[in-house]
Amino acid sequence: MSRSEHATGIFIAGAAIAAAFYSNPVALADVRNLIVIQDAPALTNVDIGLEGKSHGDLLVFEAALRSAAGHSGTLRGVLITVDMPGEGDPHEDRIGQLYFDLGNGDALVVAGTTIYSEQNTEMAADATQVRAVIGGTG
């Protein structure tokens, strides 16, 4: 299969999935918010590549979490530095994958990116974060 045939096949499959999603009112109505309160995380920096803060470094973490309804669980995750501050850009970008263990076999896996100011190595407390849910068990 040529590259153009492969790309056309992916486009058609993607268009079919998008059409099914956007034409299905149930899929559009199934939006849920999960709000959890996270305790301060235990952080471990993993220096990869160049010594000191650099592209490709990892930050792994674990934190207890709870819901307003009193449920408790654990958040575990890994963040990868993908962009360092440079000329005209004072920010550090990280992509991450987070695993929310909500107890009783319920879990969510989410992914996304966060932009940090040059001086901060952690997210600001109480800052809203939006992530894509990419998996889960319940």
- Token reading at 135: 């998996």
Distance CA 92, CA 53 (A): 10
Q: Provide the pLDDT for residue 129.
A: 74
DSSP 70: S
Based on C-alpha coordinates, what's the Rg of the chain?
19
Domain ranges of the chain: 1-31, 32-136
In this prediction, residue 137 has a pLDDT band, given cuts at 50, 70 and 90, of confident
**Which ranges constitute the DSSP H helices of the chain?**
3-23, 25-29
**Which pTM value belongs to this model?**
0.68
pLDDT in tens, 87-126: 788 788 889 999 999 888 889 999 998 877 766 666 767 7
Across all residues in the chain, what is the average pLDDT?
76
Q: Provide the pLDDT for residue 120.
A: 65
Distance CA 136, CA 109 (A): 6
- Is residue 25 over pLDDT 60? no
- Among all chains, which residue has been given the structure tokens 């990868």? 80
Q: Provide the pLDDT for residue 121.
A: 62
The more confident residue out of 77 and 87 is 77
DSSP 7: H
